[in-house]
């Protein structure tokens, strides 16, 4: 059971992207992503939406699989900029490591 | 897969200390201009951003990383800080074969020859030609990237630089899109292939162009090189994914996971091989990764340079 | 593919048989050319032809040519179901200058090619077409029945649909009586605030429409009125209205508020509507003679059962209409939404409540039925509300739990996107795993928790704390069982009134002269409601325009030379008034004989079956014609 944390999406704004909630979970990004990896990147965007920050940090290494190739951003029908969101998550993770 | 944290901190540390992501002095890396007779004055600064110069070192370093990925040694790497000592600095410089370094020097010399033949007004000053820091941007180390970008931008502005001619997509993107936002410095940034004005020779060459993500998608420039080739009578074959929908070569993953870079690159290579024509790339990362997968890939500049040797 | 073979036939009836390929729909399974070969060998058939699409212009022209040239004088088309194209081909026959009733239709698609294959299909088609040809030989020209029409329309229901239809009819100069059950005009729309997708005030829409109706001298409005009696037929209906002082508490309260505000007739009262006239002090009865009736009886919002998502158990679980009502009396912006002074930190909206119910998953409602349909408007209405709440109250968190988001109309998908960009968080559940609303014990936290198995998060169980749970309730048709009985109206399995054909005759009922407008037919938004109301008004005006209406002549006819006056037919007749025993002069003697009122006759043939003298027949479907068909079917099939 996970309780939702709506504050995390707002916290993410300071790392560059405020479009995570624009995503309507269609999965286009995961279908086009060359990584072909476990709902990447939609899964992480969904984790922002529900505020699962801990889970993102626990598996932060996953983020660096992203090539920042931009195919997902190019094809997202909601212009939610998924690739840029992943980049923002990297920034968030780096800052967290440095703080700890 | 390696711990991104270790890789990032190593690269960030190197960049802070030496202005070079591998900790190798730039004067050692950037030597291509020595045998080329380049103008010291002109309208635009030829700004290589050192990416082509890095490729042999990246290949060597990732070759070692690939050997140990998913073995107990990968863990060892983390504790022993093996990466900083072996995959950085002079150690790395020494184990990198000179043959490879010269190959990439040749690419840059070709670009200079093309610009000269196109009567582009440009100049080169090695002390101004610095690494853009874009790798740190891609890795999410925004702070290190920004600090470095400020340093580079200051150097350029205080030398009075206004126009830049770039040679690779990553540096072009950094200087054109990121620097204005972060440093406030606005340069007029033009990739070298936009400057090409060379007469066509009779040829029936056909090639397959691999559009890099940053030219094809982020900067929307992929038709420019194709047009430059067409002007020379060189045909380009259609690739399954190209232009705004081009497929990544896999290269960006190589510092974190050479295995993943190989998987993604393999899928792209299949697309590029399908038309059956020689493959041409225009980004040092793409070149490096596709070649590592065994493909015979040429740089755009060498195709263009062939047309000069009349 | 058109071949012809003309066999000279003397004084016989000349039947033309036209067989359609239906672009493969028929010809993939029926050997159409083989059927044609067999048909042209039949004695009464003068020509048999085929076409890829008989309903196409070239197909119709082929039939018209044969009629004009005298090659044929009666027509059989073998194609799809007659409900689709019988009128098309009758029209073609008319245009060729021939009586359109010398026509018979054979359905070889739904009844043959879609259900049979191979040789049996071709053989069955042969029998059906041969039987139709046999009947066609017996056909006589008929004339449509013409009845005078009263130039007056009655609209039942004073919501947006009724107002729109009344206004459109009156604008065409047709006198209209508008009947409304409550004291107010505006119906359910009057209970809304701002409406999707435009964001207009529902009050403005209702006020504007009501004013146009009230100002128009051609419209007579009767509020607090119900239809209690109905008789007649298209062009000539008689309705009895009962006016009565309002009784129910909610209406009385609204009227008191109106009186306290000194509201005059014509004024808009929030959440109630426009007051048209003072309510009657005592019951009264009104009789209306009218030519057409437009039904605009509207919908009601679904009421959740006690315990459905905690409804009726926790005061913090309300419906979307409840929320809209409560928000009209709370501040319109601020850090957090406040309802009744209570700050709302977090709201969960649940979609599809009372809609898209699934047998075996959702419990049946009191009448033993399920609302299996999509109510169509609740997604957009909810998204419109949530986006506005996020914008006006940034400190209020909003969650939407949905099964599917169905923002189908122009400008609706944008509402969905807007709500997302305003920060609404969406969660998606499967119908068999409905969210669970759980009251919390601890006084210092949120009063409710909503637990959901979220398919967007890969089937994880998530929990959302809530100050308020809002149920996006769907639409149900208003209870019009009295009208359904009186007017013999068909209802769909969903309980809404059912049109003749969803595409070809979308606002007509099989009962001539009665039309549909708005949500009595199906869930619609206000725009769609106005579309159907406008369409019904145009249909009604067209019916009344000529002063008379023409009806199909397929009605009972009494053969007075045979009728012995037994009266068995009158007892068997299904439609009161269609048949009666009357005194009449036959051969100089006064006798009691059966007489048909053609406009009321349904053409069902119940009378034909019971007449001991075979003295009554339905025109165009006579016993003799059926005998010819049966003989044809019973005879040896025509071999190739
Ligand atoms: S493509 Fe865009 S909207 Fe669709 S799941 Fe990915 S980020 Fe979300
Ligand atoms: S940018 Fe990252 S997440 Fe997006 S398609 Fe490329 S690799 Fe996948």
| ipTM of the complex, rounded to two decimals | 0.96
Which alpha helices (H) appear in C446-525, and where do they start and end?
481-487
Q: Which of B19-28, B36-45, C211-220 has the highest mean pLDDT?
A: C211-220
Assess whether the C-beta atom of A92 lies below 6 angstroms from ligand 2: no
Instruction: Return the residue matching tokens 């009886």.
Output: C297
CB contact under 8 A, A21 and C428: no
What residues of chain A lie within 8 A of the CB of B260, using their CB? 35, 65
- Which ligand gives the minimal distance to the CA of A78? 1
**pLDDT above 60 for C244:** yes
What pLDDT was estimated at residue C233? 87
Alpha carbon separation from C269 to A31, A100, C175, C181 (Å, rounded): 53, 61, 27, 17
Question: Both B206 and B188 in a single domain?
Answer: no
In this prediction, residues C475-495 reach a mean pLDDT of: 94
Pair C194, C284: CB distance under 8 Å:
no
Assess whether the C-beta atom of A77 lies below 6 angstroms from ligand 2: no
CA angle C601/C607/C613 to nearest 5° reads 135
What residues of chain A lie within 8 A of the CB of C344, using their CB? none
Please give the residue that has the higher pLDDT: either C11 or C530: C530
- Which ligand gives the minimal distance to the CA of B247? 2
CB contact under 8 A, B140 and A89: yes
Smallest Cβ–Cβ distance between C462 and the set A2, A9, A43 belongs to A2
What pLDDT was estimated at residue B70? 63
What pLDDT was estimated at residue B182? 95
Handedness of CA A96, A97, B2, B6 (dihedral sign): positive
Confidence of residue B59 (pLDDT cuts 50, 70, 90): confident
Confidence of residue B91 (pLDDT cuts 50, 70, 90): low
Assess whether the C-beta atom of A80 lies below 6 angstroms from ligand 1: yes
Span from the CA of A77 to the centroid of ligand 1 (angstroms): 7
Q: Tell me how close the Cα of B264 comes to any Cα of chain A, in angstroms.
A: 6
For residue B12, give the chain A residue with the closest CA: A94
Smallest Cβ–Cβ distance between A68 and the set B7, B138, B141 belongs to B138
CA angle C194/C196/C200 to nearest 5° reads 45
Q: CA-CA distance, C533 to C166, in Å (whole number)?
A: 9
Query: Residue C222 is encoded by which pair of tokens?
Result: 């009767």
Q: Which CATH class is domain C1-144?
A: alpha beta
CATH architecture of C308-473: 3-Layer(bba) Sandwich (3.50)
Q: Tell me how close the Cα of A83 comes to any Cα of chain B, in angstroms.
A: 11
Say whether residue A57 is in contact with chain B using an 8 A CB cutoff.
Answer: no
- Which ligand gives the minimal distance to the CA of B256? 2
What residues of chain B lie within 8 A of the CB of A71, using their CB? 213, 217, 245, 247-248
Question: Both B9 and B157 in a single domain?
Answer: yes
**pLDDT above 70 for C613:** yes
Residue of C532, C539, C540, C541 lying closest to C298 (CA atoms)? C532
What pLDDT was estimated at residue B73? 54
Return mean pLDDT, chain B.
87
Pair C485, C491: CB distance under 8 Å:
no
Angle between helices C160-171 and C526-545 (to 10 degrees): 40
Please give the residue that has the higher pLDDT: either B288 or C639: B288
Pocket test for ligand 2, best of A67, A85, A90 (most atoms within 8 A of CB): A67
In this prediction, residues C599-626 reach a mean pLDDT of: 93
Q: What is the distance, to the nearest Å, from the Cα of residue B165 to the centroid of all Cα atoms in its chain?
A: 14
Handedness of CA A42, A48, A50, A52 (dihedral sign): positive
What pLDDT was estimated at residue C586? 81
Q: Phi then psi for C10, rounded to 5 degrees?
A: -65, -110
The answer to whether B and C touch (≥3 CB pairs < 8 Å) is no
Q: Phi then psi for C372, rounded to 5 degrees?
A: -80, -10
Nearest CA to ligand 1 atom 2: A76
pLDDT in tens, C348-369: 999 999 999 999 999 998 888 9
Q: How many helices (H) and strands (E) in chain B?
A: 16, 8
What residues of chain A lie within 8 A of the CB of C463, using their CB? 1-4
**pLDDT above 60 for B40:** yes
CATH of the domain at B232: 3.40.50
Nearest CA to ligand 1 atom 3: A23
Report the predicted TM-score, pTM, of the whole model to 2 decimal places.
Answer: 0.83
What pLDDT was estimated at residue B120? 93
Residue of C528, C615, C625 lying closest to C564 (CA atoms)? C615
What pLDDT was estimated at residue B258? 83
Query: Residue C229 is encoded by which pair of tokens?
Result: 């009696």
Q: Tell me how close the Cα of A79 comes to any Cα of chain C, in angstroms.
A: 10
CB contact under 8 A, A4 and C399: yes
* Structural domain count of chain B: 2
pLDDT in tens, B115-166: 999 999 999 999 999 999 999 999 999 999 999 999 999 999 999 999 999 9
Question: Both B213 and B178 in a single domain?
Answer: no
Indicate the helix (H) or strand (E) that contains C465. Answer: strand C460-466
Indicate the helix (H) or strand (E) that contains B28. Answer: helix B26-29
Please give the residue that has the higher pLDDT: either B28 or C338: C338
Pair B59, B103: CB distance under 8 Å:
no
What pLDDT was estimated at residue C375? 97
CATH architecture of C153-298+478-549: 3-Layer(bba) Sandwich (3.50)
Q: Who's near C451: CB < 8 A, 6+ residues apart?
A: A1, C435, C436, C438, C461, C462, C463
What residues of chain B lie within 8 A of the CB of A15, using their CB? 142
**Start-end ranges of CATH 3.50.50.60 in chain C?**
153-298+478-549, 308-473
Assess whether the C-beta atom of A49 lies below 6 angstroms from ligand 1: no
What residues of chain C lie within 8 A of the CB of A24, using their CB? 405, 416-417, 420, 426
Q: Tell me how close the Cα of A6 comes to any Cα of chain B, in angstroms.
A: 24
Chains touching B (at least 3 CB pairs under 8 A) are A
CB contact under 8 A, B264 and A34: yes
Q: Phi then psi for C550, rounded to 5 degrees?
A: -105, 135
In this prediction, residues C426-435 reach a mean pLDDT of: 96
What residues of chain A lie within 8 A of the CB of C425, using their CB? 4, 6, 9, 21, 49-50
Question: Both B61 and B147 in a single domain?
Answer: yes
Q: Which of B194, B214, B230 is where one domain is finished? A: B194
Q: Who's near C614: CB < 8 A, 6+ residues apart?
A: C559, C562, C623
CB contact under 8 A, B140 and A63: yes
- Which ligand gives the minimal distance to the CA of A21? 1
Chains touching C (at least 3 CB pairs under 8 A) are A
Alpha carbon separation from C443 to C88, C439, C466 (Å, rounded): 71, 11, 13
Q: Who's near B114: CB < 8 A, 6+ residues apart?
A: B192, B196, B198, B301, B304, B305, B308
Angle between helices A42-50 and A82-99 (to 10 degrees): 60
Span from the CA of B249 to the centroid of ligand 2 (angstroms): 12
Q: Which of B135, B168, B194 is where one domain is finished? A: B194
What residues of chain C lie within 8 A of the CB of A46, using their CB? 456-457
Neighbours of C1 (CB within 10 A): 11
Which alpha helices (H) appear in C364-438, and where do they start and end?
378-392, 412-421
Pair C133, C42: CB distance under 8 Å:
yes
Assess whether the C-beta atom of A68 lies below 6 angstroms from ligand 2: yes
Pair C266, C181: CB distance under 8 Å:
no
Span from the CA of C470 to the centroid of ligand 1 (angstroms): 27
Say whether residue A71 is in contact with chain B using an 8 A CB cutoff.
Answer: yes
**Start-end ranges of CATH 3.40.50 in chain C?**
1-144
Confidence of residue C8 (pLDDT cuts 50, 70, 90): very low
Q: Who's near C87: CB < 8 A, 6+ residues apart?
A: none
**pLDDT above 50 for B80:** no
Q: Give me the domain span that covers residue B98.
A: 4-194
* Pairing status of strand C225-233 against strand B188-191: unpaired
Q: Who's near C272: CB < 8 A, 6+ residues apart?
A: C184, C186, C190, C191, C254, C257, C258
In this prediction, residues C319-325 reach a mean pLDDT of: 95
Q: CA-CA distance, C316 to C280, in Å (whole number)?
A: 39
In this prediction, residues C429-439 reach a mean pLDDT of: 96
Alpha carbon separation from A82 to A44, A71, B140, B173, B234 (Å, rounded): 9, 9, 15, 19, 37
pLDDT in tens, A15-67: 987 899 999 999 999 999 999 888 999 999 999 999 999 999 999 999 999 99
Nearest CA to ligand 2 atom 6: A69
Interface residues of C toward A, Cβ cutoff 8 Å, are 346, 397, 399, 405, 416-417, 420-421, 423-426, 428, 451, 454, 456-458, 460-465
In this prediction, residues B184-188 reach a mean pLDDT of: 95
What pLDDT was estimated at residue C3? 43
Q: CA-CA distance, B79 to C333, in Å (whole number)?
A: 56
Pair C133, C39: CB distance under 8 Å:
yes
Assess whether the C-beta atom of A76 lies below 6 angstroms from ligand 1: yes
Assess whether the C-beta atom of A56 lies below 6 angstroms from ligand 1: no
Confidence of residue C11 (pLDDT cuts 50, 70, 90): low
What pLDDT was estimated at residue A91? 96
**pLDDT above 60 for B217:** yes
What pLDDT was estimated at residue B93? 64
**Start-end ranges of CATH 3.30.70.20 in chain C?**
555-618
Q: CA-CA distance, C482 to C485, in Å (whole number)?
A: 5
Name C76's bridge partners. C17, C104
Residue A40 alpha carbon, nearest atom of ligand 2: 3
Return mean pLDDT, chain C.
93
Pair C521, C532: CB distance under 8 Å:
yes
Confidence of residue C415 (pLDDT cuts 50, 70, 90): very high
Smallest Cβ–Cβ distance between B264 and the set A61, A67, A94 belongs to A67
What pLDDT was estimated at residue C4? 44
What pLDDT was estimated at residue C606? 94
**pLDDT above 80 for B310:** no
* Pairing status of strand C397-402 against strand C425-428: parallel
CB contact under 8 A, A65 and B260: yes
Question: Both B39 and B158 in a single domain?
Answer: yes
Lowest mean pLDDT among B75-89, B206-220, C358-372: B75-89
Q: Tell me how close the Cα of A76 comes to any Cα of chain B, in angstroms.
A: 12
pLDDT in tens, C291-311: 999 999 999 999 999 999 999
What pLDDT was estimated at residue B25? 84
Q: What letter would DSSP give residue C237? A: E
> Does the C555-618 domain belong in CATH 3.30.70.20?
yes
Q: CA-CA distance, C317 to C336, in Å (whole number)?
A: 18
What residues of chain A lie within 8 A of the CB of C458, using their CB? 39, 43
């Amino acid at each position: 059971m996970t309780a939702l944390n709506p504050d995390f999406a707002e916290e993410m704004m300071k790392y560059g992207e405020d479009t995570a909630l624009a995503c309507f979970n269609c999965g286009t990004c995961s279908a086009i992503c060359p990584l072909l990896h476990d709902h990447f990147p939609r899964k992480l965007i969904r984790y922002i939406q529900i505020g699962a920050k801990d889970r993102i940090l626990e598996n932060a290494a996953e983020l660096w699989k992203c090539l920042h190739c931009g195919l997902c951003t190019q094809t997202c029908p909601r212009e939610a900029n998924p690739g840029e969101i992943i980049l923002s998550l990297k920034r968030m993770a780096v800052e967290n490591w440095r703080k700890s | 897969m390696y711990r991104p944290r270790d890789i990032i901190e190593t690269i960030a540390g190197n960049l802070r200390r030496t202005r070079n992501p591998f900790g190798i002095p730039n004067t050692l890396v950037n030597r291509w201009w020595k045998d080329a007779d380049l103008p010291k004055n002109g309208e635009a600064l030829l700004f290589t951003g050192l990416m082509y110069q890095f490729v042999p070192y990246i290949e060597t370093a990732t070759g070692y990383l690939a050997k140990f990925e998913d073995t107990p040694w990968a863990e060892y790497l983390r504790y022993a800080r093996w990466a900083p000592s072996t995959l950085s600095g002079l150690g790395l410089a020494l184990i990198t074969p000179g043959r490879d370094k010269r190959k990439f020097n040749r690419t840059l010399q070709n670009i200079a020859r093309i610009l000269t033949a196109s009567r582009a007004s440009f100049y080169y000053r090695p002390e101004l030609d610095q690494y853009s820091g874009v790798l740190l941007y891609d890795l999410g180390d925004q702070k290190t990237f920004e600090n470095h970008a400020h340093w580079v931008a200051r150097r350029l502005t205080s030398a009075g630089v206004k126009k830049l001619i770039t040679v690779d997509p990553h540096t072009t993107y950094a200087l054109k899109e990121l620097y204005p936002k972060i440093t406030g410095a606005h340069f007029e940034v033009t990739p070298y292939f936009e400057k090409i004005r060379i007469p066509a020779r009779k040829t029936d060459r056909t090639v397959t162009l691999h559009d890099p993500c940053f030219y094809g998608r982020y900067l929307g420039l992929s038709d420019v090189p194709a047009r430059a080739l067409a002007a020379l009578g060189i045909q380009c074959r259609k690739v399954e994914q190209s232009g705004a929908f081009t497929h990544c070569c896999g290269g960006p993953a190589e510092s974190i996971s050479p295995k993943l870079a190989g998987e993604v690159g393999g899928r792209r290579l299949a697309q590029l091989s399908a038309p059956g024509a020689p493959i041409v790339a225009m980004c040092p990362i793409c070149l490096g990764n596709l070649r590592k997968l065994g493909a015979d890939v040429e740089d755009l500049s060498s195709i263009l340079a062939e047309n000069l040797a009349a | 593919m058109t071949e012809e073979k003309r066999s000279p036939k003397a004084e016989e009836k000349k039947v033309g048989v036209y067989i359609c390929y239906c672009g493969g729909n028929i010809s993939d399974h029926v050997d159409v050319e083989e059927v044609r070969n067999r048909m042209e060998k039949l004695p009464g058939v003068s020509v048999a032809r085929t076409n890829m699409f008989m309903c196409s212009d070239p197909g119709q022209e082929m039939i018209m040519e044969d009629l004009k040239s005298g090659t044929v004088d009666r027509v059989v088309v073998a194609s799809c179901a007659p409900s689709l194209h019988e009128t098309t081909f009758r029209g073609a026959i008319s245009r060729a200058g021939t009586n359109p009733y010398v026509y018979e239709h054979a359905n070889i698609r739904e009844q043959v090619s879609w259900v049979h294959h191979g040789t049996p299909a071709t053989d069955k088609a042969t029998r059906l077409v041969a039987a139709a040809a046999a009947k066609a030989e017996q056909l006589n020209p008929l004339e449509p029945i013409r009845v005078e029409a009263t130039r007056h329309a009655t609209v039942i229901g004073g919501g947006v649909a009724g107002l729109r239809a009344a206004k459109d009819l009156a604008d065409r100069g047709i006198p209209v009586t508008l009947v409304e059950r409550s004291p107010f005009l505006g119906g359910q729309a009057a209970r809304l605030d701002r409406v999707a997708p435009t964001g207009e005030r529902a009050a403005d829409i209702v006020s504007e429409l009501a004013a146009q109706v009230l100002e128009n001298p051609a419209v007579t409005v009767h509020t607090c009125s119900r239809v209690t009696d109905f008789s007649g037929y298209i062009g000539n209906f008689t309705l009895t209205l009962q006016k009565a002082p309002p009784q129910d508490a909610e209406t009385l309260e609204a009227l008191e508020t109106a009186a306290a505000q000194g509201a005059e007739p014509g004024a808009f009262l929030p959440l109630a509507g426009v007051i048209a006239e003072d309510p009657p002090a005592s019951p009264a009865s009104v009789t209306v003679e009218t030519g057409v009736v437009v039904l605009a009886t509207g919908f009601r919002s679904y009421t959740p059962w006690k315990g459905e998502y905690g409804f009726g158990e926790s005061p913090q679980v309300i419906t979307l209409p409840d929320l809209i009502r409560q928000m009209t009396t709370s501040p319109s912006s601020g850090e957090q939404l406040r309802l009744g002074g209570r700050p709302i930190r977090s709201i969960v909206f649940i979609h599809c409540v009372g809609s898209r119910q699934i047998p075996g998953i959702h419990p049946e409602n009191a009448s033993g039925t399920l609302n299996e349909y999509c109510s169509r408007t609740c997604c957009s209405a909810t998204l419109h509300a949530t986006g506005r709440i996020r914008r006006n109250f940034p400190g209020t968190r909003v969650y939407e739990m949905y099964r599917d988001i169905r923002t189908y109309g122009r400008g609706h998908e944008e509402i969905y996107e807007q709500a997302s960009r305003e920060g609404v968080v969406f969660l998606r559940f499967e119908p068999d795993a409905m969210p669970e609303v759980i009251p919390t014990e601890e006084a210092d936290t949120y009063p409710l928790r909503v637990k959901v198995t979220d398919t967007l998060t890969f089937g994880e169980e998530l929990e959302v704390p809530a100050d308020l749970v809002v149920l996006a309730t769907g639409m149900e048709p208003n209870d019009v069982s009295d009208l359904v009985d009186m007017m013999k109206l068909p209802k769909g399995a969903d309980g809404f009134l059912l049109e003749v054909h969803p595409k070809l005759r979308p606002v007509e009922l099989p009962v001539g002269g009665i039309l549909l407008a708005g949500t009595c037919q199906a869930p619609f938004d206000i725009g769609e409601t106005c579309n159907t109301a406008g369409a019904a008004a145009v249909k009604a005006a067209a019916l009344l325009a000529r002063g008379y209406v023409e009806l199909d002549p397929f009605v009972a006819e009494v053969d007075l030379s045979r009728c012995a006056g037994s009266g068995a037919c009158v007892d068997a007749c299904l439609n009161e008034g269609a048949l009666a025993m009357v005194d009449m002069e036959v051969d100089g003697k006064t006798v009691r004989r059966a007489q048909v009122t053609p406009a009321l006759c349904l053409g069902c043939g119940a009378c034909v079956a019971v007449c001991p003298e075979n003295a009554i027949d339905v025109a165009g479907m006579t016993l003799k014609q059926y005998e010819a068909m049966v003989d044809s079917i019973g005879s040896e099939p025509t071999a190739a």
